[in-house]
Amino acid sequence: MAAAQPQSWSNPASVPAAYSLPARLAHWLVALLILVNFCVAWTMVDMKLSPAKLKLFNYHKWIGVTVFLLAVLRLSWRLYRRPPALPEAMRAWEKRAAEITHRLLYLLLFAIPLSGWLMSSAKGFQTVYLGKLPIPDLLGKNAALGAALTGVHEALTWLLLGLLALHVAAALKHHFIDRDDVLRRMLPWTRA
């Protein structure tokens, strides 16, 4: 008996097993916030000390805190409602690579904001979320530790960007080469 063919995005009768709407919206919101925050960071680092630079630093921290909170919600939702299964036609190594990449992405969604929080604490700059909610410092002021944590924060960010490039490349490969529903099931307008 011939093996069943995977559903193809080119077949209008096929409806992918999509992620839930909350999972899809959180995914794209976090993606947008990460992109915006990287642009803010890239801009503020080269600026001379000024009120505009301090404002960008605050925006950067606020976005980081928001990403952290959304990561908590996303992980909680993922534990509550499992994601759809990957296509059976996917090779075992691809499934394993997808699993490892997703785990690392989640880890970085927590580690990067935490490293920024620790760095700000060590540098003596308390984070006040949205200018209203003071977040307690995790460390006492320590310039050397603050400098080391800056390096950690930057390295983790570059690792995240590399993993995101891999994630996007894999999604596009599945869509345009494999012609499966891996990408389509995460699109905001896809029905669950």
Instruction: Assess whether pLDDT exceeds 50 at residue 192.
Output: yes
| Mean predicted confidence (pLDDT) in 27-47 | 96
- pLDDT for residue 90: 92
Give per-residue pLDDT as tens, 94-140.
999 999 999 999 999 999 999 999 999 999 999 999 999 999 999 99
- State the amino acid at position 2 in one-letter form: A
Token readout for 114 is: 């935490």
- Kindly report whether the global pTM for this prediction surpasses the value 0.85: yes
**CA angle, 100 then 42 then 22, to 5°:** 45
pLDDT at 191: 72
The CATH classification of domain 21-186, taken from the options 3.30.460, 1.20.950, 1.10.10, 1.10.287: 1.20.950
Domain ranges of the chain: 21-186
> What is the C-alpha separation between 32 and 11, in angstroms, rounded?
30
pLDDT of 72 > 90? The answer is yes
Lowest mean pLDDT among 6-15, 58-67, 77-86: 6-15
- SS3 (DSSP) at 132: coil
pLDDT confidence band for 188 (50 / 70 / 90): confident
d(CA 86, CA 84): 6
Q: Is residue 4 scored above 80 in pLDDT? A: no
